[in-house]
Structure 1
Amino acid sequence: MPLIMSFRRWWAAVFVAVLMLPALGHLLPDAPAPMRTVLAPEARWWEDAARRLDPYINNTFGFRGAVLAAHRSYVRFIGDSQSRLVLKGEHGALYLNSENAVEQSIGQVVRPEEVARFLAFAQRMNADMAARGGRFVVVVPPNGQTTNFELLPAYARQLKKFPTEYDLVAHGLKAEGIAFADVRPLLAEAKKTGPVHWLYDTHWNRRGALIAFNATMVAAGRPDLQISPDDALGPPEPTMKGDLARMGGITPARPDVDYPPKGPTLDPPGQSALPGVMQPVGMTDPFESYAYSTGHAGPRILVIGDSFTQGFWRAWLAHSASAYGWTHHRYCRFDMGAVERFKPDILIYAPTERAMQCKGEPFGSSDGGSQGQPDQAPQGRSGG
């Protein structure tokens, strides 16, 4: 009597093929997947394989991308959400774990076509401002994952690759002769004497924001508009606030550091709103545009940015400019009519690193940017 009856041999072949699929998955193309958080099994994994080996297997099994994509689709289908928006790093640091911010900062996600679209957009804006006799400047507030890279989990630091999207943008803008304030080395140097980015918040602190503001004025050809930190910032003080701590329901283990405003950081008197420049936004939109005349000499400065500049830079703009304004970038689809109505001498485009991508056609519409969804502003932190 044969070991396997003839009519069951095909089923045996199918069974063996199924068992071989995970092994074949290491050799065949796979769908994109989240980055691996465990790169190697722990030492002496055979002594406690369930604890020491399973995490490695869970990060390296065949067709991992396809399986995880199917799982995400199933979770969306049943209306559940298992997303973890907050990533815990070293020494209690917190990071936004969405919009590919982690992967973007460590070079695991690089989208050359998106970088090319951003550079093409910047070229058009630069040409437009040159035709108006003004100056166009780009500054990109780095992700917290970029500024506080050393506090990322060890597996993320080990996965760092070059170039990142930020590197490609910086190189491309320089090659095109577009004014660009690369604040990364400045923030890295400043960190030697004090924090420049909150540990429990997606944003830079006031010290980091001021460093970037001054660098942007230099890139705009107006170093005289820089503001001294000694004049603008008070001594560091502890704070337990942070949008990431709030989002994750996490109580920080130790205080963060804030720098209270003083002097030029406080709104100077004598400002008056410029009517008809900025169109209103919806009641639920946290990014309300503004435009003001200050009543004193200076260039007209318009910032197209997000929550990294909306509130942080407002008083410094009022101190430096004869008129200043701010509106959200809408991922390159801002209201171009605001630029035409404001007539800036200096136009600053300032999307945070994770929001550099141009979504859809630039200059989305003249309706105040109603198309597209902006990034969400953390309440009570940088909404202006």
Structure 2
Amino acid sequence: MTQVLVVNSGSSSVKYQVIDLPSEQVIDKGQRDRVGIDGGDFPTHRAAIADIVASLPANVSLDLVGHRVVHGGARFTEPVVIDRDVILGIDEVSALAPLHNPANLEGIHAVTEVMPELPQVAVFDTAFFSTLSPAAYDYALPRDVVEKYGIRKYGFHGTSHDYVTGELRGLMPPTKNPLRVVSFHLGNGSSVAAVRGGVAVDTSMGLTPLAGLVMGTRSGDIDPSVVLYLQREAGLSLEEVDELLNRHSGLLGLSGHSDMRDLSEHAEQGDPDALHALDVWSWRAKHYLGAYLAQLGGLDAIVFTGGIGENSAALRARAVSGLEGLGIEMDEQRNLAHSDRPRLVSTDDSAVSLWVIPTNEELYIARRAVECVNSSRS
């Protein structure tokens, strides 16, 4: 048996789980908030990690630590055992995820200080999309600019997309050809991925997590000239535009509500802004679904996951409504049924099967961390 501490270190919080493998039992889990802020509960990430370790049940005997790291750039395409060179590499791509990678590094440094004897593994959100072809990940920019600044589509939520499409392969009957899947990870941050035979073909997020679907506070896709227009006509600085697109746009900008539950409640009451926001959300979701159906040359399954994907029957229905002509038929009763287990929500006659599969990124990280350490020792 191997006990893995999975750490997701944010700028002001540390989430964790202790998972036993191969039983996959969660022995302990929790979160430390108000980390490193004035008047907070923990002055540093080290203090938060030390408190977590001190609070672990007596039956916990940790063997290794797996860290969620958001951005691996072009270098990190698989989980890696953390050493000084890896830490420098994560730091080098921090400009691509300034809100995430530095915080992830704080967690790594904290664990090193508190438990220096334990091996640590970095598992990257972007790694799953390292299989994208140049045609899929390249932007039409000058080559020298692209190469100097590392500009390309990287994709995010890879741990979730890889996990749920892997689970799907165990649920679907064997197929002669590689399984063609569109995976929707829907939460406050949302993305969609095209996957063939377990290998990522395309995804909606790009250089950063701003691109793609309409999200809680993020705009998703826009004409890039909007940035220049706002600078020129509205007199906004780069920082103000960045703040606008990441924190004040998306569903919040369209309706005044960033939480899909609040938005749905207002839509049910006939709020025109809420109804419009849902229309825009649905339009963008179908845009990507249609694009990925074309890129995959057909479709065998669609998976919904994430907080919204798992819990909002209405949003799942909106994403595929009117697509019966493409062989995509949702069963209303199956879709409305509540469960925390993987479940089929399409009709028996649907050519494309529709699934709700709860994601488990912590388990995914634990599995990959153990695989990585075992491989490094062999």
TM-score class, shorter: 0.3 to 0.5
Higher-Rg structure is 1
TM-score (norm 2): 0.33
TM-score (norm 1): 0.33
- Give the number of the structure whose residues are more often strand, by fraction: 2
